[in-house]
Amino acid sequence: MLAVHFPALQVVLPLLAAPVCVLLRGARLSWLAALSVSWAAFAIAALLLAEVLAGGPLSYALGGWAPPWGIEFRVDAPNAFVLLIVAGIGAIVTLYAPKSVAREVGEERAHLFYTAYLLCLAGLLGVTITGDAFNLFVFLEISSLSSYILISLGQDRRALYAAYQYLILGTIGATLYLIGVGLLYQATGTLNMVDLAQRLASLHDVRGVRVAFAFLAVGLSLKLALFPLHLWLPNAYTYAPSAVTAFLAATATKVAVYALLRFLFTVFGAEFSFSALPMGPPIAMLAVLAMFTASIVAIFQENIKRMLAYSSVAQIGYMMLGISLVTVEGLTASILHVFNHALMKGALFLAMGCIYYRISSVHIADFAGLAKRMPWTMAAFVGGGLSLIGVPLTAGFISKWYLVLAALDRDLWPVAALIVLSSLLAVIYVWRVVEQAYFRPPPPGHDTREEAPLALLIPTWMLVAANVYFGVHAGLTVRAAGRAAQTLLGGAP
């Protein structure tokens, strides 16, 4: 049966398709290969999630070596949900890629773009699906190395320097993670996450384990751009090609958030992470600082891609805030926001790609009267923007609603107030763009309609539609995120 091997195929398909793209050479052929593989990965992720929600966790022994000796791919509710969003965004961005890549990277290098892109996708899926702490490091580096390459493909020469800075900081983060894994191995003699969790239960007072926790937490926080470790993010997102920005903004930091969740809750256990070591207050404080500092910085950006990048740092604050509450409700809100934020940022950055395709600029000054020239693109931007603010009937509303409820549930009404207040900052920075595009006259000679091609508009609108769909029919995502939260806190299998 093929279905038994779905956990392995999830990662192996894009991994094998990457070298195939180099061999195919042609832009069109390699795109077709990438497209079919990424949609196949999406279908596999959807089937895996359905299977896990119906029948509990799946364990796949790679190469037939039984865990804990061999590498185990373990799919349960939290990572099946993250797999779905990573594979989903991967599939939609591939659909979007050809015109945007031809414009920003060049036809002659397109096959290399798809190679790096598929490697990055395979790495991110691997980080999410693996149940082995060292294997996670390897996949983390596969995805990181390919994302440095993808970022450096940007047209502006500053993309090179942004990729270099990300390489230095990203490698420091991954190396810190590696030190943490080494210390854990020293204390327990195992690398399998389930096995680690069992053995660590009686080792809470060992100093090496506490040091390992510190290294893992800081290393992963660097990868997920927790304020103030976010310095690599704004430049990388600003200067990368549009399709790359959309893909990385929607998936890379989310996967790192998942890895942190996995270590905080599954490997170390909530008891150790939040009672023995009081990690709740510091995480909450950094989260609130991220929400406000990054949002305020976003308001003053002239480059809209950079504005959205700072907004991403702020949104990661919401995810971390939910984690710091250490309740099923808080975690549900965090995991929901991982999913919903991927949808909204994906939509917004794809809309940026459409705009760049036509006017070769993402500076706010060039946005004057843009709604007349590109009505559909700007409408997509407004749709994504409303979701970012958290307006009812959009996906963003659902996750913020659950986050506010979770904070109130713990009687933390000042925190709930801060969540609402920081959402108002999002209103300001989205409104700046809307005002410029809808209420300023276009520059003379540019008042004709010049909409982005359908090949770019359709994937963008698919994500905008997903924002509305999951804002109205929130049942599926809330149920999956709730199950994921219960699994992480040890409530459900």
Partner 1 sequence: MDVLGLYNYWIVIFLMMSGFYIMIARGNLVKKVVGLNIFQASVFVFYITVGKVSGGTAPIIAEGIERYSNPLPHVLILTAIVVGVATTAVGLSLVVRINEAYGTVEEQELGAMDGDA
**Footprint of partner 1 on this chain (CB under 8 A)?**
134, 137-138, 141, 145, 148-149, 152, 157-158, 160-161, 163-164, 167-168, 171-172, 175, 178-179, 182, 185-186, 235
Q: How does DSSP assign 222-247, residue by residue?
A: HHTT-TTS-TTHHHHHHHS-HHHHHH
The token pair that represents 112 in the structure block: 């290399």
87 or 163: CB nearest partner 1: 163
144 or 487: CB nearest partner 1: 144
Which of 310, 306, 278, 264 has its CA nearest to residue 291?
Answer: 310
CB 260 within 8 A of CB 166: no
310 or 397: CB nearest partner 1: 310
Q: How far is the CB of 461 from partner 1 (least distance, A)?
A: 33
Query: DSSP character for 129?
Result: H
Q: How far is the CB of 233 from partner 1 (least distance, A)?
A: 14
Q: How far is the CB of 441 from partner 1 (least distance, A)?
A: 28
37 or 178: CB nearest partner 1: 178
Q: How far is the CB of 135 from partner 1 (least distance, A)?
A: 9
The token pair that represents 64 in the structure block: 């037939």
239 or 318: CB nearest partner 1: 239
Q: How far is the CB of 73 from partner 1 (least distance, A)?
A: 17
3-state class of 215 per DSSP?
helix
The token pair that represents 414 in the structure block: 């000042």
1 or 66: CB nearest partner 1: 66
Q: How far is the CB of 146 from partner 1 (least distance, A)?
A: 9
Q: How far apart are CA 24 and CA 95, in angstroms?
A: 18
CB 76 within 8 A of CB 52: yes
Q: What per-residue string of b and e applies to 392-416 under the rule 16 or more CB within 10 Å gives b?
A: eebbbbbbbbbbbebbeeeebeebb
6 or 114: CB nearest partner 1: 114
Q: How far apart are CA 215 and CA 292, in angstroms?
A: 27
Q: How far is the CB of 119 from partner 1 (least distance, A)?
A: 11
241 or 384: CB nearest partner 1: 241
Q: How far is the CB of 388 from partner 1 (least distance, A)?
A: 24
Q: How far is the CB of 152 from partner 1 (least distance, A)?
A: 6
Q: How far apart are CA 465 and CA 446, in angstroms?
A: 29
303, β-bridge pairs: 363
Which of 195, 41, 207, 204 has its CA nearest to residue 129?
Answer: 41
Q: How does DSSP assign 384-426, residue by residue?
A: HHHHHHT-TTSHHHHHHHHHHHHHHHTT-HHHHHHHHHHHHHH
Amino acid making up residue 120: C
3-state class of 303 per DSSP?
strand
93 or 167: CB nearest partner 1: 167
